[in-house]
Amino acid sequence: MGLFDKFKRVVKSNLNEMISKAEDPEKMLNQLIIDMNQQLIESKKSVASAIADEKKLERHMNQQISQVSEWDRKAKLAVRAGKDTLAKEALLRKQDYENAASQYREQWESQHQSVEQLKGALRQLQMKIEEAQRKKNLLIARAKRANAQKKIQASMSGLSNTSAFEAFDRMAAKVDKIEAEAEAIAEIGDMSSADADLEQQFKALEGGAASAELLLEDLKQRMKGDEEN
């Protein structure tokens, strides 16, 4: 049926366009539901128009049937009045209305069958859209989960490159070396300070001893001089 073939073509066209643009899955699914509901509204209008045509044909058919009964009544009335010629005219009119009623009946039955098929297809379409709406949130959740997994895998792939880790290890080794050098310099400085202090102590002792000898010698010389005087 053309009505629902058009619906499928429109939805498929919109879907292909959105997929080709690689839009966000959530946005795409929401838009698809909107498009489906819009097409459903248009389909309902078409079905309503077909139902209206069916009602119109049925009404015309019933009018013809009513006229058949009316002209049959008039033909009988003419016969009772002894007016056969008028009765024949009435019967001819009745026959015309019977033919018209028969034609309208054929059209109405065909339209009625089409309308029933359209109603069934419309119900199926509504059910499919309702099912799509129920699945939408599930699909969105799956898309988000897949996207998150994709990002994690991309991050893990980036971490698989060992250059960053190697650079980190080299930097750690360099820091260890700098720390060791600093400790060595500090230790050497302490040793130099200790040596200097020790040397200073000995110089003080040596200086002290020399002074005492000189003072003692000087005292002896002075005492000798006094004795001689």
Q: What is the pLDDT along the chain (229 residues), one digit of tens a residue?
A: 455 565 555 555 555 555 555 467 788 888 888 999 999 999 999 999 999 999 999 999 999 999 999 999 999 999 999 999 999 999 999 999 999 999 999 999 999 999 999 999 999 999 999 898 888 888 888 878 887 888 887 766 665 555 666 777 777 788 788 877 777 777 776 665 666 666 666 665 555 555 667 777 777 787 777 777 6
pLDDT for the residue numbered 191:
60
Transcribe 80-145 into DSSP letters.
HTT-HHHHHHHHHHHHHHHHHHHHHHHHHHHHHHHHHHHHHHHHHHHHHHHHHHHHHHHHHHHHHH
Q: Is the dihedral of CA 122, 128, 129, 134 positive or negative?
A: positive
- What's the distance, Cα to Cα, between the start and end of the chain in Å? 159
pTM, entire model: 0.54
Cα separation values, 57 from 70, 119, 125, Å:
20, 18, 27
List, in order, residues 6 or more apart from 118 with CB less than 8 Å away. Answer: 1, 3, 46, 47, 50
Query: Per-residue pLDDT tens for 138-185?
Result: 888 887 888 788 888 776 666 555 566 677 777 778 878 887 777 777
